[in-house]
Amino acid sequence: MASNQTSFHTEANPDASAWGQYTAIAACLVATLCYAISGSFTKKFMPNLPPLVSSTGSQLGASLALALPALWAMPEAMPSTQAWLAIILLGVACTGIAYILYFRLVNRAGPAKALTVTFLIPVFALIYGVVFLNETVTLSMVLLGVVVIFGTAMSSGIFPKMK
């Protein structure tokens, strides 16, 4: 369970360094901020850019930004061919296609509605953890998942406004 893996307390994961935990938390916060900004930025400054161009540019920019840190943290033994294929498949099938759809949604529905799909990431992560990793689901996970789903539905306008 992720809640026991990282926090601002080094006891959360004694095998990890404090610097590594702070870096992981900061990376999550920066990613969240980038999600919040990207839709509005795209709609305002690149309204007629095809979604394939937006998503390709995003992925190339991210790859370039991560090239130096990846070289710095290169493992002593290179990962197997199967691991590289899994990374490529995840990058293309999960991230690449999702970005094309996301930027198409930004163009068609606007950034506010497009952003609501990102709210559901924790719910899908929970489902994938159960299906693929045999993770245990707790009552709090289910209840918080329901809160996320209802919050997403409310923010996207699925429920009619009450007077």
Quick: pLDDT tens for 103-140: 888 888 888 788 787 788 889 988 988 998 888 889 99
Residue type, position 39, single letter: G
> In total, how many domains does the chain have?
2
Domain region containing 153: 120-163
112 and 162 both lie in a single domain:
no
83 and 152 both lie in a single domain:
no
Its sign, for the CA torsion 154, 101, 142, 32, is negative
Give the span between the Cα atoms of 34 and 92, in whole angstroms. 20
Q: What is the reported pTM? A: 0.65
114 and 124 both lie in a single domain:
no
Share of the chain above pLDDT 70, in %: 88
162 and 102 both lie in a single domain:
no
